[in-house]
Amino acid sequence: MNSQSRHTLIHQMVEQWLTQVVIGLNLCPFAAKPYKNKQIKIHISPAQQEAQLLEDIYQQLRELDTTPPEQLETTLVVVPDFLSSFDDYNQFIDWIDALLIQHQWEGIYQVATFHPDYCFAGNHPEDDDNLTNKSPYPIYHLIREDSIEKVLAHYPHPEFIPDQNIQRIKTLTPAAKNSLFHYLLAGQSK
């Protein structure tokens, strides 16, 4: 498969996950509107080492910083060729946090995390709870904090969202889980 075909396939898998899992299951009640308005960017990073990925994330944050939210609300940085280990992926978050501090973006942007092997602290890897944050590839979601504050002001009890998401996942039939999370079973994320 040539690089353009692979890039297209990765983009399609991430968009399918976004539309069927994140939006389709309403795991993020705030994602549907920016998706409908074409304000979500899916950026596929070619990075295979830390410095390259950090530079790529920096460039995506700069783009967010210089583009009005009406044009670009949020960015998913997809990392198909690096950080397949969940532990390595988690450790890299410290570098992103340092980048936010260094460029005085703390309180302006935050990062949500998704990974094929996502496992919440205290969980077993196979626990259904983890499916709320499992994605076809490692993804760092760059989010504008002021956008979150605006939608949360009109959303009753946002603190219940994680528990509601877990309940939603737990009520899925095995067939529905297999359909929605087929990429985990097929090992396509590795």
Please report the pLDDT score of residue 125 as a whole number.
93
Across the chain, which has 190 residues, the per-10-residue mean pLDDT values are 92 97 94 96 98 98 97 98 97 97 97 97 94 97 93 84 93 94 65
Instruction: Measure CA of the first residue to CA of the last residue in the chain; give whole Å.
Output: 16
- Interatomic CA distance for residues 46 and 117, integer angstroms: 20
Please report the pLDDT score of residue 189 as a whole number.
40
- Interatomic CA distance for residues 12 and 125, integer angstroms: 26
Please report the pLDDT score of residue 188 as a whole number.
44
* pTM listed for this prediction: 0.94
Please say whether the beta carbons of 154 and 124 come within 8 A: no
